[in-house]
Amino acid sequence: MERRESAVAKLNPKAVLKPAVSLFLICLIVTALLAGVNMLTADRIAALAVQTAEDSQKVVLPNAASFEEVDEDTVKGLDGSGQLAGYVITTEAKGYGGTIEVMTGITADGSVSGVVLLSQNETPGLGANATKESFTGQYQQAVPESGFEVIKSGGAADGQIQAMTGATITSQAVTDAVNLAVEKYQTLEKGGN
């Protein structure tokens, strides 16, 4: 017991305080530097996000010459003469690795003109393959009244999407997101926007 008391008695407050203050100052400086870098790059990051969204809109609705915002997740595409070319609708669904954000273009005549995954955290080599044209191209068809259906095997017919091997959860998530866009499109068409 005496040995333990002598070890506590030998504890020097300066020996503890000096490294603690040094560590606090290092953390304070690093935090200030990170905040400064964030402030310097925030506008550039926001501009890149806007540019990426505009580029994706042109990919999913290529016959549109300009876009007008309808609401926070929908833009209306107009052709060169100002007529409605279609809508670009951004939706989300829960995938295997988290939320998948999908942008869907639907033409004025009711066909899906393109699908782009804006963000996803799916398994590389499996679910991440949902970003490939070989998968997203399946949606380029007339919008089925009841939405798209994922099938696991066999040939896909109209309104059916062939699931990716080993990534049926991701396939279903992307399809769910596209179906949400289809529902929104049908609502817009009924409302006449």
178 in a structural domain: yes
Whether pTM > 0.85 for this model: the answer is no
Same domain, 119 and 84: yes
Which pLDDT band holds residue 157 (cuts at 50, 70, 90)? confident
Asked whether the predicted pLDDT for residue 175 surpasses 90, the reply is yes
Does 56 fall in a domain?
A: no
- The verdict on 92 and 138 lying in the same domain is yes
Q: Contact 170/100 with Cβ under 8 angstroms?
A: yes
Structure confidence at residue 6 as a pLDDT band (50, 70, 90): low
Shared domain check, 85 and 123: yes
Same domain, 116 and 174: yes
Total of domains in the chain: 2
Residue 7: per-residue pLDDT = 55
Q: Are residues 40 and 67 in the same domain?
A: no
Residue 106 counted as domain residue: yes
30 and 66 share a domain? no
The model's pLDDT over 84-131, given as tens digits with 9 standing for 90+, comes to 999 999 999 999 999 999 999 999 999 999 999 998 988 888 888 899
Domain with 23 in it:
2-44
**Mean pLDDT, to the nearest integer, of 50-54?**
82
The predicted model gives 183-193 an average pLDDT of: 82
Are 72 and 155 in a shared domain? yes
**Do residues 157 and 68 share a domain?**
yes
Within a domain: 51: no
Mean pLDDT of the chain: 88
Tell me, yes or no, whether 85 and 126 share the same domain: yes
Average pLDDT over residues 36-54: 87
More confident position, 174 or 9: 174
Look at residue 5 in the predicted model and tell me its pLDDT: 56
Is 53 within a domain? no
11 and 68 co-located in one domain: no
User: Is pLDDT above 60 for 1?
Assistant: no
Residue 164 has pLDDT above 60, yes or no: yes
- Whether 69 and 37 map to the same domain: the answer is no
Same domain, 11 and 82: no
Mean pLDDT of 6-16: 70
